Each structure stands twice: as structure tokens, then as C-alpha cells.
């Protein structure tokens, strides 16, 4: 059994929140240039992505995952950047699957799923989330800014469902005046399919996406709009700390969710830690700096010392950025989401 050095109390941060979820960014690269995440003006040909030797190896990720599992993590999400761009990703999933009792999920833009969904499922991936902001092809091509068609992502979602990775969650970031006129069509498409659409409020992640409060469509407004077309009723959360507010269609056509990060923050129940592609530990999506686990990993630090380092960081955690967000905090220097992992 692992031990937590200084005492045996369950690990909790300064606000009493346990460590339950881990998001691991396996690459800071992406084949999309979503304006709200990796605007091409910043992430253009001259952008310096992490050199390969600075990115954690699969063995390093698996070692950290084991230690985080010892500290209470039960759900691990692979993300990025675009995680499916990382070569041999199913090999990492298989390594992580060896950790008993760890639920494995992945967030992806879906473009490579047609070929990789089955190998990921075979390696032990439990579930998948695919991002898709609109079914309107010109709108979607503009939003990913790389001219990827909607059809490619829909094929990816179907491949994931066929591989047994469902119910697939489908994430759509909403920006007023950009794609909010296409949301009813998204809802119509996914109703009755068993796949779960979730609308995400546009967030001020990173420092480069030109976030403005007036582009955020509050989830309450989104729910009203959907309800007017397809009547909804609220559902109870599946578990404490679930980020999506869940509703069901009254006619039995399934479920839909709203992620209210801006208008109704959920910091009080936030149990998520993040590891960037180069092995820094971040305790908030909006953090400015992280704790360097790669340096510890590569300098021969043993598991007990790593556990202690991580536990100390978590115990000191006070983050609740979304609760104190304002026009002022939007301008703070924050790490980019493609690097820290969405």
C-alpha cells in the first residue's frame, strides 16, 4: 500500500477538495487552429512547439498515473493539443489500463478516429468525448480554421460508437455571433442517437484567444432556446463535481448537457489536476505556472518523493479562478489550453 509520508489523512486541498481526476496532455500540437484555442496568428508556422525530448514518454506518463492513482485519482483523461496526433497512442492506453480501477477517457477533435477508435478501444479506453462546434459546414470550417469538414468528425463519432466507446459525448463551444445560430441543428442531430451533446460556454483560457464576455452565451439562455424547440427537464448530477448540468428531452430522446464554466462556476467541487505535455502539474485550467514533475522524474527521484511532491502541491491548492473571474482577471498571464490540456 502506498503511504503519504507525513500523515494518513485523505488528501484534500485548502478548500477541502479531494484529488479525483487527472487530465494528461500528451501533445501540445494540433491539426486544427480553433480561434478560441490556438489562433493561427499565434500558433502559425513560426510557433515553437515543444521539442520531442521535452515531452513526457509513455513510461513517464504511466509512472505518474500510478502515483496519482495512489493519491486518489480514479479517472484519467488523455487530451492535448490533439491527443490522437501522438504516435502509438493505443500503446499508452494499454500501459494505463494496467492500473486497476482507473477509468480511461479521451477528448479529441475526432478527425483521426475513423482509423484509431478500434485500436484505442482494444487497448482498454473506456469512453470518448469528441468536440464538434457546428453541423454547418462553412461555420465549422471557419471555426477549426483548417478547412476540416463536418463529415470527417461525424465519421469519427460513428467509428467510436461502433468500437464500443459510447455513449460518445459531443462537446460544442458556443460563441455568440459565430455558431450560436446553428445549435438547434446540433441538438436535433444528436437527439435519439444515444450520444450526449454538451454545450460549453466560451472561456477565457490562455492569453491569446481574444475572449470577450459579450461572446459568451449563458447556459441558461442556451437551455431556454433548446427547451423552446425540444422540451427539457433537469436531471440530477451523476456524481458530485460533475461539470455538466444535465437535462433530458421530455419525449424520451435522451440527454443533453450544459457546461456553465463562466456563468455558474463549479470550482467548489473541482477535483481536477492537469499535467502538461512537458510534465508540469497544474491545479487549475487558468493557472499561470505549474510544478515541474519531469525534472523530478528525470533526476532519479523515487516514487515516495514524487508522491510527496504531488501531495504537497495539492494540499496547498487554493484555485477558484472561475469564481473570481472578471474583466481584470481575463488579462492575467495564463498557460494556453492546448499546452495544459483541455
322 binds ligand SF4 (CB under 6 A): yes
Residues 165 and 120 sit within 8 Å (Cβ to Cβ): yes
Rule CB under 6 A: is residue 340 a binding residue for ligand SF4? no
Quick one: which H or E segment has residue 333?
Answer: none
Report the alpha-carbon angle 87-91-96, nearest 5. 125
Determine phi and psi for 200, rounding to 5 degrees.
Answer: -115, 130
Q: Is 282 in the site for ligand SAM (CB under 6 A)?
A: no
Site string for ligand SF4, 126-155 (x = CB under 6 A): -----x------------------------
Give the one residue of 61, 62, 200, 297 binding ligand SAM; rule: CB under 6 A: 200
Supply the Cα-derived Rg of the chain in whole angstroms.
19
Piece of 80-88, 156-164, 186-194, 291-299 that binds ligand SF4 (CB under 6 A):
80-88
Contact 13, 315 (CB under 8 A): yes
Our CB check for ligand SF4 shows the closer of 102 and 337 to be 337
Note whether 104 and 113 are within 8 A (CB).
Answer: no
Tell me the C-alpha distance between 50 and 27, whole Å. 8
The span of 119-127, 148-156, 198-206, 308-316 binding ligand SAM (CB under 6 A) equals 198-206
Using CB atoms within 10 Å of the CB of residue 340, give its burial: 0 to 12 exposed, 13 to 18 middle, 19+ buried. Answer: buried
Stretch that binds ligand SAM, among 103-111, 146-154, 248-256, 305-313 (CB under 6 A): 103-111
Q: Which lies closer to ligand SAM via its Cβ, residue 105 or residue 271? A: 105
Residue 266 interface partner, choices ligand SAM, ligand SF4, none, CB cut-off 5-8 Å depending on type: ligand SF4
Outline where DSSP puts E strands in 53-164.
75-79, 103-108, 127-131
Work out what residue 171 binds among ligand SAM, ligand SF4, none; the CB cut-off runs from 5 to 8 Å by kind: ligand SAM
Binding residue count for ligand SF4, defined by CB under 6 A: 24
State which of residues 209, 245, 276, 283 lies at the interface with ligand SAM (CB under 6 A).
209
With CB under 6 A as the contact rule, the residue among 153, 297, 319, 334 that binds ligand SF4 is: 319
Q: Binders of ligand SF4 among 97-116, rule CB under 6 A?
A: 109
CA distances, 275 to each of 21, 137, 151, 196, 301 (Å): 11, 33, 32, 26, 18
CA atoms of 91 and 162, how far apart (whole Å): 20
Query: Which of ligand SF4, ligand SAM, none binds 134 (CB below 5-8 Å, type-dependent)?
Result: none
C-alpha–C-alpha distance, residues 85 and 87, integer Å = 6
Residue 267, contacted partner among ligand SF4, ligand SAM, none, CB below 5-8 A by kind: ligand SF4
Reduced to 3 states (helix: H, G, I; strand: E, B; else coil), residue 288 is: coil
Instruction: With beta carbons less than 8 A apart as the criterion, state whether 274 and 41 touch.
Output: no
The residues binding ligand SAM (CB under 6 A) are 30, 36-37, 79-80, 82, 107-109, 131, 171, 173, 200, 202-203, 205, 209, 337-338, 342
The residues binding ligand SF4 (CB under 6 A) are 30, 32-34, 37-38, 80-82, 109, 131, 265-267, 270, 272, 284-286, 319-322, 338
Amino acid at each position: 500500500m502506498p503511504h503519504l509520508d507525513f500523515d494518513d489523512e485523505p488528501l484534500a486541498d485548502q478548500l477541502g477538495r479531494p484529488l479525483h481526476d487527472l487530465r494528461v496532455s500528451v501533445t501540445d500540437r494540433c491539426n486544427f487552429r480553433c480561434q478560441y484555442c490556438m489562433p493561427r496568428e499565434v500558433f502559425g508556422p513560426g510557433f515553437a512547439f515543444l521539442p520531442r525530448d521535452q515531452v513526457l514518454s509513455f513510461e513517464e506518463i504511466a509512472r505518474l498515473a500510478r502515483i496519482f492513482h495512489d493519491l486518489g485519482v480514479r479517472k484519467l483523461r488523455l487530451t492535448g493539443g490533439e491527443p490522437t496526433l501522438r504516435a502509438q497512442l493505443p500503446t499508452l492506453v494499454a500501459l494505463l489500463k494496467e492500473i486497476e480501477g482507473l477509468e480511461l477517457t479521451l477528448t479529441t477533435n475526432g478527425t483521426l478516429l475513423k482509423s484509431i477508435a478500434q485500436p484505442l478501444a482494444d487497448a482498454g479506453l473506456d469512453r470518448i468525448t469528441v468536440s464538434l462546434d457546428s453541423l454547418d459546414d462553412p461555420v465549422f470550417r471557419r471555426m477549426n480554421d483548417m478547412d476540416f469538414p463536418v463529415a470527417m468528425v461525424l465519421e469519427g463519432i460513428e467509428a467510436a460508437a461502433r468500437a464500443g466507446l459510447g455513449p460518445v459525448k459531443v462537446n460544442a463551444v458556443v460563441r455568440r455571433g459565430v455558431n450560436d445560430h446553428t445549435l438547434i441543428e446540433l441538438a436535433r442531430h444528436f437527439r435519439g442517437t444515444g450520444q450526449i451533446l454538451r454545450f460549453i460556454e466560451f472561456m477565457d483560457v490562455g492569453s491569446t484567444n481574444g475572449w470577450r464576455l459579450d461572446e459568451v452565451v449563458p447556459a441558461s439562455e442556451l437551455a431556454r432556446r433548446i427547451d423552446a424547440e425540444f422540451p427539457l427537464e433537469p436531471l440530477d448530477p451523476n456524481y458530485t463535481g460533475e461539470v455538466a448540468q444535465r437535462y433530458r428531452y421530455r419525449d424520451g430522446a435522451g440527454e443533453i448537457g450544459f457546461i456553465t464554466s463562466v456563468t455558474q462556476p463549479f470550482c467548489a467541487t473541482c477535483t481536477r489536476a492537469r499535467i502538461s505535455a512537458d510534465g508540469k502539474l497544474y491545479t487549475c485550467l487558468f493557472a499561470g505556472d505549474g510544478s515541474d514533475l519531469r525534472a523530478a522524474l528525470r533526476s532519479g527521484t523515487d516514487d515516495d518523493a514524487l508522491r510527496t511532491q504531488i501531495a504537497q502541491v495539492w494540499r496547498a491548492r487554493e484555485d477558484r479562478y472561475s469564481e473570481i473571474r472578471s474583466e481584470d482577471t481575463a488579462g492575467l498571464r495564463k498557460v494556453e489550453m492546448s499546452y495544459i490540456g483541455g
